[in-house]
Structure formats: structure tokens, C-alpha cells
Amino acid sequence: MLAALPLLAGCGALGKVGGGSHNPPASKFTVTAPVTSVVIHGGSGAVDVTGTAGSAVTVAQQASYSSKAPTASHVLSGTTLTVSYRCPTELVCGMSYVVQVPRDVAVSVSTSAGSVTLTSLAGTVTARAAAGLITAVDLRCDVASFDSNAGGVIATFSVAPRSVTASTNVGPITLTVPGTVAYRVAAHTVVGTSTITVRHGGSSPYSINAHSDLGSISISPA
């Protein structure tokens, strides 16, 4: 059964979304109940998620709008926390997020227009941006998937991933992985160049798949 969590008022310094005339102070809430996965349905606005050694999830959200504020929502269903918002019909409306999660939590982020930044995550990672750059740093997860329609993907892994998938329609893909193991690599770009310098292994349990319609691909060892 879905249970809405209380919103704890707070404030923080977050970047503004777009050029709306209203940018109220950011609000913040904390979830102390057990969470194994966090799903963020963004729209217009940046999303920044960082893994920590703590056990709680904290979310700071910054609205930007031209007339009426978006309606923010967060729901805990079992151990899955879903964060989202809805906008009325107006010229400018968006929400940016700065999120801290326990490092091993699975994270799924989607945005329509906004960058996605992921840092120090060890759980399964999924990131999709219709228009925006996806940047991942110090990833320690076994499985990661990145999809940017227009923007690009830059991801650096501190631990060899078992499976990485990265795709863009317009934008480069740059993946940096530990050079301690060999990888099964499939890389294809329609317009652009592919530079693969990691060790290859046809029977390796570690796989990397990268595809770009318009943009270069680089897969290199750390």
C-alpha cells in the first residue's frame, strides 16, 4: 500500500531552474525508513544524486515557476522511494533535486530537460535524459544504464562493472573503467569515431555496450 511521507521544511542552496520569476527557498525532507531503491521522475531541472555511508535518504528540491508552483510528491512503497512533481500549464515550471542516498541503494533517474549527476553509487544505476548531459563519477555498481537523447554520457567507474549500457542520439559517450579486467565491448557510432583502449575478452563476464547516432565514443582504462 502506498504511504505518503511527511515533508519536513528546510532550506538549502540549489541552482535555479530556467529563468522563471519565482524561485522560493529549497525544501528538504528526510526518509529514515529502510529504502533499497530510489526513483526520481524529473522534468525540467537538474538532478544530483550522491551515495553516502549513512542510512537515511535526504532530498532537497528547488522549484522554479512563472505563475503557480509545481506540486511535489514523494511516496514510499515497500522499500522503494519515488520522488516526482507535477506542473500546471504555464511558461516556466521545473524542479531540481539534490539527493543523498545510502551508497548501496539502486537509483533510477529520468529528466526531460536537465542534467543528471551521479556520484559514489554502488547499487544498480539507471539514468535517462531527454535533453541533458549525464555525468557519473566514482561508480561502484555491477550494472549501469545511461540513455541521453541529446547531451552525452560521461561515466567513470572505480570498480569494474559487470554490465554497462550507454546510448545517445546526439552527443558523445566517454566511459572510463578499471583496467584490471578484460571486457566484452560492442561500440557503434553512425557519425563519429570510436576509440576503444580497454582490454578485450570474448568470454569475459564484464560487458560494455555503447551506441551513438551522432557523437564519438571513448572507452578507456582508468
According to the model, what pLDDT value does residue 18 have? Answer: 40
CB 216 within 8 A of CB 193: yes
pTM for this one? 0.89
Distance of alpha carbon 222 from alpha carbon 217, whole angstroms? 16
Q: Would you kindly state where each structural domain of the chain is located, as residue ranges?
A: 1-110, 115-124+133-222
Nearest to 123 by CA among 209, 33, 37, 35: 37
According to the model, what pLDDT value does residue 21 have? Answer: 65
Nearest to 133 by CA among 179, 182, 170: 170
Nearest to 108 by CA among 139, 131, 81, 79: 81
Number of H helices, E strands in the chain: 0, 20
According to the model, what pLDDT value does residue 202 have? Answer: 84
pLDDT tens digits, the chain, 222 residues: what are they? Answer: 334 433 333 333 333 344 446 888 899 999 999 999 999 999 999 999 999 999 999 999 999 999 999 999 999 999 999 999 999 887 899 999 999 999 999 999 999 999 999 999 999 999 999 999 999 999 999 999 999 999 999 999 999 999 999 999 999 999 999 999 999 999 999 999 999 999 998 899 999 999 999 999 999 999
3-state SS assignment for residue 125: strand
According to the model, what pLDDT value does residue 3 have? Answer: 41
CA 117 and chain centroid, separation: 5
According to the model, what pLDDT value does residue 19 have? Answer: 43
